[in-house]
Amino acid sequence: MKIKMVNIEDFQQYKDRKPQWIKLHREMLNNFAYASVRIETKAVLPLLWLLASEYDDGVIDASVEEISFRIHIETETTREALKELCNVGFFELLDDVTAVESSEKTHDPVGSVRKRTEAYKNVHRDRDRDRDRDRDREETEKESRAGARAVAREKEPLPEWLDSEAWSEWLSYRSEIKKKMTPATIKKQLSLLERFKDRQGEIINMSIRNGWTGLFEPKRPPGKSSTGFRDLDDMVAANQISFNAAHTMAAGRRLAEGES
């Protein structure tokens, strides 16, 4: 049996896929045909609309028993509702009207259950495929937007004072550790490097060497260790000078004491 949903385009927003929902217009409250049917038929109608949205062009190709199984309504209630809805124009019966009336007499219980099960699997398979396709499209669009933003950032001119070689090395490092460079991150890091223009390479190399994800202000003046000397030779020379000065002062005191 085939029945077609009338004016399906009024209830579907998308033409190229099967959405998980349909539109229900508020004007149904003032629809005379809807108001004239039995309360059972009113309950069946939106369920049939949802079912029709799963089929191409809104044509439900199933027996009354299969439709009843899908919408979880008793077979006899479904049959009477189908008759009434076709009479008032919500659905169009594409087969002979006797298909609705005699489907129960010619129905094979075992075969019908098998068909219903297969139809149920097909519907869910289509639904899963559509959902996966929508998710893939959203991810593709998201990646495209992210790529466009990245290209736009790359096209932005870099400050003249920036050490382009060190900055390029820093961008490559961030990419390797899967850390995106957002506009806010770039702005903050460039601000730090601008304050220490003469030490950009040192700051970047320190972060890469220690596996850090950000750039940090250096703790000591350039070229000095924590002792305040440039290297070990400077420290030894300073200690020698201090020792010689102390020795000279001590000898002077002894000489002064001897004369007295």
Tell me the pLDDT tens digit for each residue of 100-144.
555 444 445 445 555 655 665 676 677 778 788 888 888 888 777
If you write DSSP's letter for every residue of 93-115 in order, what string do you get? E-S-THHHHHTTTT--HHHHHHH
Please name the residue ranges forming H helices in 89-199.
98-102, 109-155, 164-176, 183-195
Question: Count of residues for the chain?
Answer: 260
If you write DSSP's letter for every residue of 17-81 in order, what string do you get? S--S-----GGGGG-HHHHHS-HHHHHHHHHHHHHHTTSGGGEEES-HHHHHHHHT--HHHHHHH
pTM of the model: 0.38
**Phi, psi angle pair for 92, to nearest 5°:** -120, 125
pLDDT at 57: 77
Residue 208: pLDDT over 70: yes
Cα–Cα distance, 228 to 158 (Å, whole number): 35
Cα–Cα distance, 66 to 104 (Å, whole number): 11
